[in-house]
Amino acid sequence: MIRPIVKFGDQVLHREAAKVTDISADIAALVQDMIETMYAAPGVGLAAPQIGVPLRVFVVDVTGGRSRDSLLAFINPEFVEREGMQLEEEGCLSVPGFNATVARPSRAAVKGIDLEGRERTVEGTGLLARAFQHEMDHLDGRVFVDRLRGIQRDLIVRRIRKLTRSGKWS
């Protein structure tokens, strides 16, 4: 089931998400919904808080569904390695219409539980490393806008406030 994506300003996006304590059928259904929602958007990654669920779960497919082999789902993910730095433009399904250049690691390895309940470690470079960091940030209540500095961040936040006031941000 495709779920509505919440936007920047919704409190669920600005709070730390909780660990999943039980890999149940509910979690499997949640992950399926997240995959459908990500592909429908379309996007290359989605974290559970983005559909209003404050749990540490994310899905990523840097091919956007062109190669389903590259679909990854992580429950309770954590970084086991991060190194280097890349600067690329990035956006977020919860901040539609805005992009900014964000510094991210150029290589990152994430360890978490997959849908079969197995522990899995995946290493990514380039876009995948960026996506890992972007989605992990969501689980910590951080959106890419929060990674920007002073004036750049203020500008986006001000524009979003304006859109919110005029009823164009919901």
Does residue number 5 form part of the binding site for Ni ion (CB under 5 A)? no
Residue closer to Ni ion by CB (options 119, 159) is 159
d(CA 104, CA 88) in angstroms, rounded, equals 8
Closest CA to 88 of 72, 104, 77: 104
Shortest Cβ distance from residue 117 to Ni ion (Å)?
A: 26
Which residues 80-109 are close enough to bind Ni ion by CB under 5 A? 92
CB atoms within 10 A of CB 80: 13
The amino acid at residue 10 is D
Residue nearest to Ni ion (CB): 92
Minimum CB distance to Ni ion, residue 64 (Å): 14
| Min separation Cβ 116 and Ni ion, Å | 25
Which CB atom, from 55 or from 92, has the smaller least distance to Ni ion?
Answer: 92
Q: Which residue do the tokens 């890419």 mark?
A: 144
Q: Which residues pair with 24 in a beta bridge?
A: none
**Cβ(27)–Cβ(5) below 8 Å:** no
Question: Cis (ω within 30 of 0) for the bond into 4?
Answer: no
Cβ-based nearer residue to Ni ion, 23 or 70 = 70
Residues that bind Ni ion (CB under 5 A): 92
